[in-house]
Amino acid sequence: MSNIVDTFYKYFELVPAISEQLKNEVYKLRYQVYCLETGFEKIEHYPEKVEFDEYDNSSVHYLIRHRKSEVFAATTRLILPNVTNKEKLFPIEKYTQFDNNEVLKNIPRDKLAEASRFCISKEFKRRKNESGTLTGVNSDWEINYTGDERRVFSYLTIALFACLIKMSEENDIYYWYAVMEPALIRYFSSLGIYFVGIGPLVDYHGIRQPCMIKVSDLLDGVAKKDLSLWEMMTG
């Protein structure tokens, strides 16, 4: 496993989107994934081909870049608590309902953020024999990847958690909100990442559940399951 981790970082790098240029790369990649690839958002709402919303200015963002091609493969953001109005609602609080308030009652609001826009380009999910290409990607794109590169594509999800952890450390965040599909919650549980349900399922771009997790609990759970994954998330 450690060899896989080393190989991953040989081919990919984590990039904090701290400049306007890099933030624009975030929004372009999100347009590609959420508008073109999944239909999560309507194309006509983003005529400039960048996907952003009212929370981006109060968020921090990371990208994952394929070193050789310099193509951005994945991105995520952390919506931070509002520094001037700590009671301002997060998206999860606006669009879902909570019924597990006991879990939330002792969490300091200034240590709580919402993890969202967790996405990976279809190009970097593709298995070797799958057909079709993304808009704007030519037909020989796939042959530019070595076997080792394809082998580590599945670790992009783990690397996005590494991005979220870095953003949390940099902004003194200890807890995350997240709205997720039940299948994704089960998948993360298999990695030792145990999100706690805090409300009923809701139809919010598909059936999803509001959840939360303490970052230290996440890392402890992963360490117990697979120390190499923990090293990848914290390296």
For 6-50, the pLDDT digits (tens) are: 889 999 999 999 999 999 999 999 999 999 998 889 999 999 999
Is the overall model pTM greater than 0.75, yes or no? yes
| Mean pLDDT value across residues 105-120 | 94
SS (HEC) of 90-159: CHHHHHCCCCCHHHHCCCCHHHEEEEEEEEECHHHCCCCCCCCCCCCCCCCHHHHCCHHHHHCHHHHHHH
pLDDT for 83: 79
The residue extents of the domains of the chain are: 2-234
Specify the CATH architecture of the domain 2-234. Answer: 3-Layer(aba) Sandwich (3.40)
Q: Is the pLDDT of residue 141 over 80?
A: no
CA distances, 136 to each of 26, 30, 128 (Å): 17, 15, 19
pLDDT for residue 130 is more than 50: no
Evaluated on CA atoms 77, 79, 80, 83, the torsion sign reads: positive
| 230 Cα distance to chain centroid | 17
- The answer, yes or no, to whether residue 98 has pLDDT greater than 80, is yes
Asked whether residue 131 carries a pLDDT value surpassing 50, the answer given is no
